[in-house]
Amino acid sequence: MSNLTPMMQQYLEIKKQYPDAILFFHLGDFYEMFFDDAVRAAPILEVALTSRDAGRLGRVPMCGVPCHSASSYIARLVSHGFKVALCEQLEDPSQAKGLVKRGVTRVITPGTFFEGETTDKTSHSYIAAVAPGSGKTYGLASAEVGTGEFRVTSFAGAGAQDKLMDELFRLQPAEVVLPEGSEELKHLVRAAAPAAAVTFWPQELFRDLARAEAALEGYEREGEWKTEAVLAAGVLAAYLAETQKRELKHLKKISSYRPEGFMLLDAATRRNLELTRSLADGSRRGTLLEVLDYTLTGMGGRRLRDWIEQPLLDPAAIEERLEAVSYLVEQAVKREEIRARLKKMGDMERLASRLSFGLANARDLLSLKDSLILAGEIKEELSGAKGLLERLRDQLENLDDITSLIAEAIAPDPPATLQEGGLIREGYHPEVDRLRSIRRDAHKYLAELEAKEKERTGIKSLKIGYNRVFGYYIEVTKPNLHLVPPDYQRRQTLVQAERFVTPELKEYEEMILGAEERLYSLEYELFCRVRDQVQAHLDRILRAARAIGQIDALASLAVAAVKGNYVRPRISSSDLIRIKEGRHPVVERALGPGNFVPNDTWLGGTDKRVAIITGPNMGGKSTYMRQVALIVLMAQIGSFVPAAEAEIGVVDRIFTRVGAADNLYGGQSTFMVEMGECRTILTQATSRSLVVMDEVGRGTSTYDGMSIARAIVEYLVQRIKAKTLFSTHYHELTDLAQLPGVFNLTVAVREEEGKVSFLYRVLPGKADKSYGLHVAALAGLPKEVIERAREILEELERRREEKPERPCRVVQLDMFSCGVEHPLLAELTRLDLDQITPLQALNLLAEWQGRLKAEGKRRGGGRRG
């Protein structure tokens, strides 16, 4: 190491302490990376990979990024799962004696980076820690460094692992801290949050309760805590302290919650109902969130997402939200006045985080000041409001002391940087004003000095200039050098002129440059002092920010209600779901006003617990079932709903089994995924649950599928007694209407001259046809295939009507030669189209067509021979 350059030796000593991070080494105006860090980072950052002399090691790989734009480069590395250790200069290089002292001031990880810009104001970026307890118990702590949220919970008993996975799926943390060697937990995390970075920490930290308690000293704790929750929170607090290397004052309040306190939504239900992420591309387009989100602030957007993902169970809490939304619906003028102010507000939660990290610049403080003033105006607009809005109004306490401080101290139009002056308002500090006066008068003084020297020397072309190398100088052209006075000191010779200084000019240079340096230093010092004073009020700022977030979310629901012509649902303690002219909120928005066909729903009580829904594909069965689930969910988040009337008896859970897809990561087939979701429903649903199941059993053979579907319906109605919507193509299941609580629904179809029109009306009764061929035609199958399928269907129906007493030989239907038996017809005879789905029918048609074409070629070849 002694043969290395001093700087490189310093680098390697620091890098040794952070082997798993990319070290951003501060050199001048750049963060430099060396060795393997540079090789790994350069292609991701799209910067040139160069080299630098390191002494005995020769030239080593190097790349770098400008300090002023480092945030965007760090964001790229973090998005690729890297950690970044910021190694800063800990002293002024101009004051350093020898090598500048450096040290790591923060380790940025996927779960602790919040400086990056995002187009989705509703998004969260959580970091979580999972602490496994004895048996199947788990503690879960989650924090969002960018907003100051820190929460803990625990899971125990039957289904604890499933509930943990569901919560991780909801949070979608960017990073999860786990005990070393816990491969099972890692697998669970990957299944629930595939994009999460997994960080392992020593096992003993997840077991040492005393150490966990010590890590939580200084935190304000709310709610009831279990041992596993304390361990998870302690580990997460210790991890944040080690990586962030500062006291995170905005994260000092930890609240505990019970997932059972909200409507539990498993991962399948969140996906199938497309609450916040589209099944098509994972975006928010085509989701319930997109329909309801008219928020104008980041705080409000995140709060609304939280409400959608955690519907309420307490009727009183639901009614309280509905009352607030109703007030804002009715008070249109007040609502728009409030929204006009919300539109101008900054993201106070994120600003509070920047304050806590010491990252806030002067523009951030001005944004905070303006936002707090607007919050005060919103408070005035809410005068007269009752209930929830009144409580939120009271949380907007008077913050004039903070706004006055910022207004008095910070310049009205400061620069983005903190090192170049322009931060402090005129009149705030006398020394700042004096130093600015010196700098401002410099031009006038130099003009006067230049005129004086021209007169004294008689050199009319004499001029005073400045450059960074020589400072201020007097320039004289060569023809006039003989007029230069003796007190001029030569500093630089040019081709056509020479440059000089005088004692007076040198003295002024020291004064003006010293004033500028002192001014920048003093402004920065004063700014940091003001920022620290504001930071002391973080609790008050965050309380106001969170109140504003809820007000914005409530106003958003009010706007959605007005624009969508929604009604206030009646929340009841009954077991009924009664909806008149209900509509699917997302589909209705896509179709436009007046184009969606509404439907009624009556579900619950003793006689209408399980609806068997039959009818053709594309007839609206899936849309109807999803719309019922979404209307119930909307009501329980406190939203108005798309219907003419609605009475909602609070449900404890919504379950969905809709669609099918292979789980390639988990190594599960379509049918296995389907059965796994059915298992969740049959083991966790209660009589207070709402169950939506779409075509269960289609992932296996016809008879197996029908048997499973029938058994599930019987179990739901006889054992669980959950309110259920069950669509099927197995028409035999309609016979279950003989059971108490089971009834049939069908989607209306109009058939005229061989053509089918879907009416999208859900009516009592059962379907008498599957209309598979009509759907196949609408899907665009070749006309030849459709006609051939119709011939086969007619023959099968004719033979079924004949009901032969014993098996008979089937004659080929004009396939290649009349009167010749064909083996395919035996298969056709056994096939009952009422017992297969359209997709299975199309697959069979494709298989048969291929076999017949191959046979035709063989026969044709034989004749030619």
More confident residue, 344 or 757: 344
Closest-CA residue to 623 (of 272, 165, 369, 320): 272
> Residue 617, annotated ligand binder?
yes
Together in a domain, 439 and 548: no
Residue 210: is its pLDDT beyond 90?
Answer: yes
Q: Which residues contact 758 (CB under 8 A, 6 or more apart)?
A: 616, 618, 619, 620, 747, 749
Whether residue 614 is found in the same domain as residue 660: yes
Q: List the structure tokens of 735.
A: 């016979």
The DSSP secondary-structure symbol of 479 reads G
**Average pLDDT for 308-316:** 96
The tokens of 770 are what? 């599957």
Structural contact between residues 628 and 725, judged by C-beta atoms closer than 8 angstroms: yes
> Is there a contact between 252 and 220 (Cβ–Cβ < 8 Å)?
yes
Identify the pLDDT of residue 91: 86
Q: Is 543 left (phi over 0), alpha (psi -120 to 50) or beta?
A: alpha
Establish how many alpha carbons lie within 13 A of residue 792's alpha carbon, considering only the half-sphere containing its beta carbon: 24
Place of tokens 């067509």: 849
CATH of the domain at 17: 3.40.1170.10
555-564: per-residue pLDDT in tens? 999 999 999 9
Indicate the pairing of strand 742-752 with strand 30-34: unpaired
Phi, psi (degrees; rounded to nearest 5) at 536:
-65, -15
Higher pLDDT, 760 or 642: 642
Share of the chain above pLDDT 70, in %: 87
Query: What pLDDT is attached to residue 2?
Result: 57
Q: Given this model, what pLDDT does residue 508 score?
A: 84
Residues 96-135: tens digit of each pLDDT: 788 999 999 999 999 999 876 555 677 889 999 999 988 7
Q: Are residues 547 and 470 in the same domain?
A: no
Q: Predicted confidence band at 31 (pLDDT cuts at 50, 70, 90)?
A: very high
| pLDDT of amino acid 616 | 82
pLDDT at 74 over 70: yes
Mean pLDDT in residue range 800-821: 44
810 pLDDT band (50/70/90 cuts)? very low
pLDDT of amino acid 573: 86
333 and 311 housed in the same domain: yes
Round to whole Å and give the CA distance between 44 and 21.
15
The β-bridge relationship of strands 21-27 and 755-764 is: unpaired
pLDDT at 236: 97
How far apart, in whole angstroms, are the C-alpha atoms of residue 215 and residue 238? 6
Mean pLDDT on 42-58? 91
Q: Is the pLDDT of residue 863 over 50?
A: no
Q: What angle do CA 232, 175, 24 make, to 5 degrees?
A: 120
pLDDT for residue 840: 64
State the Cα–Cα distance between residues 579 and 178, nearest whole angstrom. Answer: 46
Task: State pLDDT tens for residues 268-308.
Answer: 899 999 999 998 888 899 999 999 999 999 999 999 999 99
Least confident of 103-107, 360-364, 665-669, 681-685: 665-669
CATH number at residue 148: 3.30.420.110
| Residues 367, 495 within the same domain | no
Asked if residue 178 is part of any domain, the answer here is yes
Residue 255 assigned to a binding site: no
Q: How far, in Å, CA of 460 to CA of 81, rounded?
A: 66
Instruction: Consult the annotation and say whether 618 binds a ligand.
Output: yes
Among residues 139, 156, 165, 140, the alpha carbon closest in space to that of 680 is found at 165
CA distances from 462 to 407, 442, 450, 457, 477 (A): 46, 18, 7, 9, 8
| Dihedral sign (CA 285, 291, 292, 293) | positive
Stretch 249-258: mean pLDDT: 92
The whole-angstrom separation of Cα 538 and Cα 285 is 35
Q: Could you give the percent of the chain with pLDDT greater than 90?
A: 63
Contacts of 383 (CB under 8 A, 6+ apart): 393
Say if residue 599 carries a ligand binding annotation. no
| Residue 145 to residue 114: CA distance in whole angstroms | 7
pLDDT score, position 281: 85
The residues facing 129 across adjacent strands are 141, 177
**What pLDDT sits at residue 663?**
41
Compare 75 and 770 and report the one with higher pLDDT. Answer: 75
How far is residue 789's CA from residue 783's CA, in Å, rounded to a whole number?
10
Instruction: Give every CB contact of residue 256 below 8 A, 6+ residues apart in sequence.
Output: 151, 152, 153, 221, 222, 223, 224, 225, 229
What pLDDT, on a 0 to 100 scale, did the predictor assign at position 853?
A: 66
* Distance set, CA 171 to CA 129, 353, 655 (Å): 12, 20, 19
pLDDT recorded at residue 723: 97
Residue 52 lies in a domain: yes
Q: Does any domain span residue 298?
A: yes
Place of tokens 């965007």: 72
Q: Is 622 annotated as contributing to ligand binding? A: yes
Q: Which of 261, 283, 316 is the last residue of a domain?
A: 261
* First-to-final CA distance of the chain: 87
Q: Is 384 exposed, middle or buried (0-12, 13-18, 19+ CB in 10 A)?
A: exposed
pLDDT at 808 over 50: no
Torsion angle defined by CA atoms of residues 726, 730, 732 and 737, in that order, rounded to the nearest 10 degrees? 10
d(CA 637, CA 263) in angstroms, rounded, equals 10
When divided into structural domains, the chain yields a total of 6
Q: Is the pLDDT of residue 796 over 70?
A: no
Is residue 182 situated within a structural domain? yes
C-alpha to C-alpha distance for 468 and 251, rounded to whole angstroms: 46
State the CATH number of the domain containing residue 321.
Answer: 1.10.1420.10
pLDDT of 783: 73
Q: Is residue 115 part of a domain?
A: no
Model confidence at 704: pLDDT above 60: yes
| pLDDT given at position 159 | 83
Separation between Cα atoms, residue 724 and residue 736, nearest integer Å: 13
The answer on whether 563 is annotated among ligand-binding residues is no
* 335: alpha, beta or left? (left if phi > 0; alpha if psi -120 to 50): alpha
The answer to the question of whether 511 is labelled as a binding residue is no
More confidently predicted of 597 and 855: 597
Paired sense of beta strands 463-467 and 471-477, if any: antiparallel
Mean pLDDT of 825-844: 63
Asked whether residue 864 carries a pLDDT value surpassing 50, the answer given is no
Answer yes or no: is 412 within a domain.
no
d(CA 42, CA 48): 6
- For the record, the structure tokens of 505 come out as 């000019």
Please give the pLDDT value at position 751.
73
Looking at the structure, do residues 56 and 14 belong to the same domain, yes or no? Answer: yes
583 shares its domain with 722: yes
With tokens 């061989």, the residue in question is 754
CA triplet 434, 438, 441: central angle to 5 degrees?
A: 130
Mean pLDDT of 812-835: 54
Mean of pLDDT values over 141-162: 92
Predicted local confidence at residue 772, as pLDDT: 62
**Per-residue pLDDT at 816:** 38
Cβ–Cβ < 8 Å for 11, 57 = no
Domain that holds residue 203: 127-261
- Residues 312 and 252 occupy one common structural domain: no
pLDDT score of 4 more than 90:
no
**Is 785 inside any structural domain?**
no
Distance CA 808, CA 656 (A): 45
Residue 273: its H or E element:
none
Give the pLDDT of residue 811.
35
Strands of 220-222's sheet, edge to edge?
A: 197-201, 175-179, 127-132, 138-144, 149-155, 253-256, 220-222
Mark whether 592 and 689 lie in a shared domain: yes
Residues 579 and 559 reside in one and the same domain: no
Tell me what the pLDDT averaged over the chain comes to: 87
For tokens 């750049």, the residue is 30
Give, in degrees to the nearest 5, the angle at Cα 333 between 570 and 590: 60
- Cα torsion 205, 210, 213, 218 to 10°: value is -110
Q: What does residue 207 show for φ and ψ, rounded to 5 degrees?
A: -125, -20
- Residue 464: predicted pLDDT: 93
Q: Which of 567, 588, 589, 594 is nearest to 579 (CA)?
A: 567
- The string of pLDDT tens digits covering residues 576-599 is 999 999 999 999 999 998 899 999
Residue 773 has pLDDT above 80, yes or no: no
Per-residue HEC secondary structure of 23-72 comes to EEEEECCEEEEEHHHHHHHHHHHCCCCEEEECECCCEEEEEEEEHHHHHH
The continuous run of DSSP H or E covering 295 comes out as: none
More confident residue, 696 or 492: 492
3-state secondary structure of 814: coil
619 annotated among ligand-binding-site residues: yes
Are 586 and 728 found together in one domain?
A: yes
Q: What is the pLDDT of residues 473-520, one digit of tens each?
A: 999 999 999 999 999 999 999 999 999 999 989 888 888 888 888 899
Length of the chain: 865
Least confident of 170-179, 254-263, 566-575, 661-670: 661-670
Strand 59-66 to 690-694 pairing:
unpaired
CA distance 179 to 205: 8
Q: Are residues 629 and 735 in the same domain?
A: yes
3-state SS, one letter per residue, for 325-343: HHHHHHCHHHHHHHHHHHC
Which pLDDT score is estimated for 750?
81
497 within 8 A of 477, measured Cβ to Cβ? yes
Using CA atoms, how far apart are residues 678 and 684, in angstroms rounded to an integer? 10
Q: Collect all residues with Cβ–Cβ distance below 8 Å to 517 and sequence separation of at least 6.
A: none
- Mean pLDDT (whole number) for 749-776: 75
Give the count of beta carbons closer than 10 Å to the beta carbon of residue 375: 24
Q: Residue 413 domain-assigned?
A: no
